[in-house]
Amino acid sequence: MCLAVPGRVTEIGERDGTRMAVMDFGGVVKDVCLEYLPDLAVGDYAIVHVGFALQRLDEESARRTLALFEELGLLQEEFGDPWEAAGQWVGAEEATAAEEAGR
């Protein structure tokens, strides 16, 4: 699943002529392109999708959304290590096969 996730700008800079930010998504930190929201400032919140800040968001809405995503496990799904997730899936599949073999 690919979500649009709210994040808070912690740093702003430029990379290869593109305005970029470091954003915090409830403890997960990622680089984000600010070309669609050039007036975003440090401390502001925005909705981010596939590495692009798309819409400014108020702090209360951002915090509520992040808390809900965390509760539902969506932040881990969106930002977690894909190799770790694949290993968990394979481990669950092996456990199911072992259980069925024991029947």
- 1-44 residue pLDDT tens: 466 889 999 999 999 999 999 999 888 899 999 999 999 999 99
* More confident call, 45 vs 80: 45
Per the structure, the count of domains in the chain is 1
User: Could you read off the pLDDT of 55-103 as tens digits, one per residue?
Assistant: 999 999 988 988 888 788 776 656 655 455 455 555 555 555 556 666 6
Answer whether residue 45 shows pLDDT above 90: yes
Q: What is the CATH number of the domain that holds 33?
A: 2.30.30.140
Residue range of the domain that includes 26: 5-101
The token pair at 79 is: 């930002």
Can you read off the two tokens belonging to residue 46? 């925005």
Provide the β-strand partners of residue 23. Answer: 9, 30
Q: What is the pLDDT of residue 80?
A: 57
Q: State the amino acid at position 76 in one-letter form.
A: Q
Cα 28 to Cα 43: distance, rounded to the nearest angstrom: 16
